């Protein structure tokens, strides 16, 4: 028996100590707490991890203009043996034109019918072969005087034994001429173990310039996009596309910036440039293509303009030195938004798009908190006043947000919006998701979270140790991402746009510079990481009204929105724990229908998707049969749930 004094003490203490609150998510639907920004969910992009070349941009030949390496025609190899002899070399003495200052010289010293010699391209980790597909091949060529051979182009197996598609050009002339032909595959099984070859059946010397091969593209656009990758992004229903970077906007040096004027027009007029992630960009995906990409997704461009600062520290001094860059930005805005009769708008019209694109936001630079010269304040001010003078309705974004000390932020004018970047561990996001934005000044600039992503381990995207790791994040990271999204969504009166980074990764060895990334692919296949599915779930189930959502007595994170027209309430629940978490859903101020739908993304913390296992972690839909105010809903361990609750 317990002594009497112990019972008395227990009674007193029991009365004095507050009871642990029942785990509750309280949602107040009586009146909205704010408006959800219509552009809340978007995409950020740049040339990293072979996102464009070897990714979304559908060109299949790597080093098509022979400019990738000044010393050797990398990714090209002679086709010889079997009775043929050939050698290849760069020939800057025979440039294609003033822009592409080299060509490929192919010397075929032995060849005959059935024993052709020439050159092969390995593609971007293979050439994808699909059955009954029409490819568009094109190239510039000329031959040494007297050459009478026929040129054959083909897509064939790596060992040359299987020819999937082939076509012929009857003869070459001694002057540069362009050639174009269609190659059509038959009933081949899909494979990426293929190469592109161009051969001749007579000895001779020929020169090649800008050799290109496109598979079927999205809506069959010329110079277009890979349909499967683009579809993954369309499915996310992004409100905006932030481009062209990221570091890719700035380049390592001023000469390596994204010089948009050099990314327009015929491919043979685009020199390409050295990108900051260790390889050259063809600029086949140039300003015009970025705009078409945004349009294909029904998204608005968020245009980042070069702001006179490059990554290795060089910058243009505010004043006359910066003026040409400011003018470039004004011209660029005119290209995007100007009438078809305007100087730069007319170029857009000539490229096939007479209608101006919608543009609301222009970002000045990228991560200018790295500029230790302290020039950003004045550089920003110079861009800001020129843009506002000519385009008063445009919203101008500063690249230094409140996560940086005031001394680094823009002070001499007030930016409309500031861009904050957060690469954080899952735990850091779980902490930030409990109120980071609650304390922000609602009267100050709006917030654009222009880059963010959760890490399973401490932040080390470039660490060589991360090379062996998966290119895309696991379920645990998706939990951090989803938690962070609840914070941004609950505060979307202030956080008007956000986008994960990086978006794309070619998963082949040697193709990537960063991890983790949202969408992975090789030449033939594509998959979404758990984080991709989490973002897609959030972005495709969001209303226009913010509802107050408060969690008590639970680690589950939540946000709620409502569609003012259909009155559907969307509740997002994130359980970071490794056991199921029952929560009481206290939804006041709305009369709910009897059933609701749930979309659940849940898995072991370490589980992930991969190119060979693309659907290990995907959302599962289900019905909730008995919806009641105060009902208990159990969020699975490591689980992300989106509930769609209909009104009665």
Q: What x-and-dash track marks residues 2-41 binding ligand AHR by CB under 6 A?
A: ----------------------------------------
Closest of 426, 436, 452 to residue 490, by C-alpha: 436
Helix (H) or strand (E) holding 181: strand 177-184
Q: Which of 501, 596, 602, 645 binds ligand AHR (CB under 6 A)?
A: 501
Catalytic residue, chosen from 46, 122, 367, 456, is 367
Written as six digits, the tokens of 578 are: 């490794």
Please, how many CA atoms are within 13 Å of residue 295, restricted to the half-sphere of its CB?
Answer: 16
Residues with Cβ within 8 Å of residue 56, at least 6 apart in sequence: 225, 226, 229, 230, 285, 293, 504
Cβ(250)–Cβ(365) below 8 Å = yes
Q: Which residue, 283 or 545, has its beta carbon nearer to ligand AHR?
A: 283
Closest of 382, 340, 370, 376 to residue 357, by C-alpha: 340
Q: Applying CB under 6 A, what is the total number of residues that bind ligand AHR?
A: 11
Q: Which of 42, 502, 530, 576 binds ligand AHR (CB under 6 A)?
A: 502
Residues 347-366 touching ligand AHR, rule: CB under 6 A, are 366
Q: What x-and-dash track marks residues 232-251 binding ligand AHR by CB under 6 A?
A: -------------xxx----
- To ligand AHR, the closest distance from the beta carbon of 421 in angstroms equals 6
Q: Which residue, 311 or 551, has its beta carbon nearer to ligand AHR?
A: 311
Q: How many angstroms separate the CA atoms of 528 and 229, rounded?
A: 10
- To ligand AHR, the closest distance from the beta carbon of 424 in angstroms equals 13
Q: Is residue 300 within the footprint of ligand AHR (CB under 6 A)?
A: no
Distance of CA 322 to the CA centre of its chain: 29
- To ligand AHR, the closest distance from the beta carbon of 448 in angstroms equals 13
Tokens 């070459």 — which residue? 172
Q: Which residue, 338 or 453, has its beta carbon nearer to ligand AHR?
A: 453
- Residue 367 known to be catalytic: yes
- To ligand AHR, the closest distance from the beta carbon of 366 in angstroms equals 5
Q: How many angstroms separate the CA atoms of 373 and 375, rounded?
A: 5
Of all residues in this chain, which one has the CB nearest to ligand AHR in the complex?
246
Q: Which residue, 473 or 502, has its beta carbon nearer to ligand AHR?
A: 502
- To ligand AHR, the closest distance from the beta carbon of 45 in angstroms equals 10
Write the DSSP assignment of 414-473 as a string of letters.
--SEEEEEEEEEHHHHHHHTTTGGGGS-TTS-EEEEEEEEEESSSS-TT-GGGGGS-SS-
- To ligand AHR, the closest distance from the beta carbon of 51 in angstroms equals 10
Biggest alpha carbon distance in the chain?
A: 116
Q: Which of 283, 289, 451, 545 binds ligand AHR (CB under 6 A)?
A: 451
Q: Which residue, 245 or 318, has its beta carbon nearer to ligand AHR?
A: 245
Closest of 33, 110, 22 to residue 442, by C-alpha: 33
Q: Which residue, 259 or 555, has its beta carbon nearer to ligand AHR?
A: 259
Tokens 């008995």 — which residue? 626
Residue 346 CB neighbours (<10 A): 16
Q: What x-and-dash track marks residues 246-285 binding ligand AHR by CB under 6 A?
A: xx--------------------------------------
The CA dihedral of 236, 240, 244, 247, to the nearest 10 degrees, is -80
- To ligand AHR, the closest distance from the beta carbon of 49 in angstroms equals 9
Q: How many angstroms separate the CA atoms of 22 and 25, rounded?
A: 10
Q: Which of 179, 391, 440, 514 binds ligand AHR (CB under 6 A)?
A: 514
Closest of 439, 532, 445 to residue 487, by C-alpha: 439
Residues 317-336 touching ligand AHR, rule: CB under 6 A, are none
Q: Is residue 367 within the footprint of ligand AHR (CB under 6 A)?
A: yes
Which residues on adjacent β-strands are paired with residue 120? 77, 197
Q: How many angstroms separate the CA atoms of 496 and 419, rounded?
A: 10
- To ligand AHR, the closest distance from the beta carbon of 369 in angstroms equals 10
Q: Which residue, 118 or 502, has its beta carbon nearer to ligand AHR?
A: 502
Q: How many angstroms separate the CA atoms of 427 and 402, rounded?
A: 21
Total length of the chain: 648
Q: What x-and-dash track marks residues 193-232 binding ligand AHR by CB under 6 A?
A: ----------------------------------------
Phi and psi torsions of 311, nearest 5° = -60, -35
Q: Which residue, 80 or 421, has its beta carbon nearer to ligand AHR?
A: 421
Q: Which of 40, 41, 46, 213 binds ligand AHR (CB under 6 A)?
A: 46
Q: Which residue, 41 or 258, has its beta carbon nearer to ligand AHR?
A: 258
Q: Which residue, 371 or 451, has its beta carbon nearer to ligand AHR?
A: 451
Helix (H) or strand (E) holding 336: helix 323-337
- To ligand AHR, the closest distance from the beta carbon of 328 in angstroms equals 20
Q: Which residue, 227 or 502, has its beta carbon nearer to ligand AHR?
A: 502
Closest of 228, 257, 179, 255 to residue 58, by C-alpha: 228
- To ligand AHR, the closest distance from the beta carbon of 245 in angstroms equals 6
- To ligand AHR, the closest distance from the beta carbon of 56 in angstroms equals 16
Whether residue 208 is preceded by a cis peptide bond, meaning omega within 30 degrees of 0, is no
Residues with Cβ within 8 Å of residue 211, at least 6 apart in sequence: 61, 64, 104, 121, 137, 138, 139, 140, 196, 198
Q: What x-and-dash track marks residues 168-187 binding ligand AHR by CB under 6 A?
A: --------------------
- To ligand AHR, the closest distance from the beta carbon of 399 in angstroms equals 9
Residues with Cβ within 8 Å of residue 595, at least 6 apart in sequence: 623, 624, 625, 626, 627, 646
Cβ(100)–Cβ(107) below 8 Å = no
Q: How many angstroms separate the CA atoms of 54 and 373, rounded?
A: 36
Residues 47-86 touching ligand AHR, rule: CB under 6 A, are 48
Q: Which residue, 24 or 49, has its beta carbon nearer to ligand AHR?
A: 49
Q: Is residue 369 within the footprint of ligand AHR (CB under 6 A)?
A: no
By the criterion CB under 6 A, which residues form the site for ligand AHR? Answer: 46, 48, 245-247, 366-367, 451, 501-502, 514
Active site residues: 367
């Amino acid at each position: 028996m317990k002594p009497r004094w112990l019972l008395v003490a227990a009674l007193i203490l029991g009365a004095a100590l507050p009871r642990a609150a029942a785990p509750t998510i309280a949602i107040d639907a009586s009146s909205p707490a704010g408006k959800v920004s219509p552009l809340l969910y978007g995409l950020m992009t740049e040339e990293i991890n072979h996102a464009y070349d070897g990714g979304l941009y559908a060109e299949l030949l790597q080093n098509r203009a022979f400019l990738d390496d000044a010393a050797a025609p990398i990714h090209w190899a002679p086709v010889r043996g079997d009775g043929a002899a050939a050698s290849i070399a760069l020939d800057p003495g025979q440039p294609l034109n003033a822009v592409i200052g080299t060509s490929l010289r192919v010397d075929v010293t032995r060849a005959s019918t059935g024993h052709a010699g020439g050159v092969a391209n390995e593609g971007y980790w293979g050439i994808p072969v699909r059955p009954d597909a029409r490819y568009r091949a094109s190239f510039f060529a000329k031959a040494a005087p007297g050459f009478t051979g026929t040129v054959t182009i083909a897509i064939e197996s790596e060992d040359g034994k299987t020819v999937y598609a082939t076509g012929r050009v009857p003869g070459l002339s001694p002057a540069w001429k362009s050639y174009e032909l269609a190659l059509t595959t038959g009933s081949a099984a899909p494979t990426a173990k293929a190469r592109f070859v161009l051969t001749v059946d007579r000895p001779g010397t020929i020169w090649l310039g800008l050799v290109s091969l496109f598979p079927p593209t999205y809506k069959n656009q010329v110079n277009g996009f890979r349909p499967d990758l683009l579809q993954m992004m369309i499915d996310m229903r992004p409100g905006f596309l932030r481009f062209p970077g990221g570091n890719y906007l700035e380049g390592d040096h001023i000469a390596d910036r994204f010089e948009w004027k050099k990314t327009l027009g015929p491919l043979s007029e685009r020199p390409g440039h050295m990108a900051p992630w260790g390889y050259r960009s063809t600029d086949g995906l140039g300003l015009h293509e970025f705009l078409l990409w945004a349009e294909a997704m029904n998204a608005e461009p968020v245009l980042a303009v070069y702001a006179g600062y490059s990554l290795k520290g060089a910058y243009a001094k505010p004043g006359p030195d910066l003026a040409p860059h400011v003018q470039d930005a004004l011209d660029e805005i005119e290209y995007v938004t100007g009438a078809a009769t305007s100087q730069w708008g007319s170029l857009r019209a000539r490229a096939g798009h007479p209608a101006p694109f919608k543009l609301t936001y222009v970002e000045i630079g990228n991560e200018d908190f790295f500029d230790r010269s302290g020039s950003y304040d004045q550089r920003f001010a110079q861009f800001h006043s020129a843009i506002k003078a000519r385009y008063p309705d445009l919203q101008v974004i500063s690249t230094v947000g409140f996560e940086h000390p005031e001394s680094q932020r823009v002070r001499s004018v007030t930016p409309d919006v500031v861009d904050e970047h957060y690469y954080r561990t899952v735990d850091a996001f779980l902490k930030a998701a409990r109120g980071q934005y609650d304390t922000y000044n609602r009267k100050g600039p709006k917030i654009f979270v222009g880059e963010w992503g959760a890490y399973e381990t401490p932040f080390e995207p470039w660490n060589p140790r991360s090379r062996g790791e998966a290119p895309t994040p696991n379920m645990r990271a998706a939990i951090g991402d989803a938690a962070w999204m609840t914070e941004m969504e609950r505060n979307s009166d202030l956080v008007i746009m956000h986008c994960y980074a990086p978006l794309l990764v070619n998963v082949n060895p040697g193709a990537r510079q960063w991890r983790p990334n949202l969408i992975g692919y090789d030449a033939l296949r594509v998959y979404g990481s758990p984080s991709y599915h989490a973002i897609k779930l959030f972005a495709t189930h969001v209303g226009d009204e913010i509802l107050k959502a408060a969690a008590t007595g639970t680690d589950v994170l939540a946000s709620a929105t409502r569609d003012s027209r259909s009155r559907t309430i969307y509740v997002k629940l994130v359980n970071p724990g490794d056991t199921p978490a029952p929560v009481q859903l206290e939804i006041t101020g709305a009369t709910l229908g009897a059933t609701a739908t749930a979309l659940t993304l849940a898995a072991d913390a370490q589980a992930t998707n991969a190119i060979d296992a693309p659907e290990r972690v995907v959302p599962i839909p289900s019905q909730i049969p008995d919806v009641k105010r105060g009902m208990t809903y159990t969020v699975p361990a490591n689980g992300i749930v989106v509930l769609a609750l209909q009104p009665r």
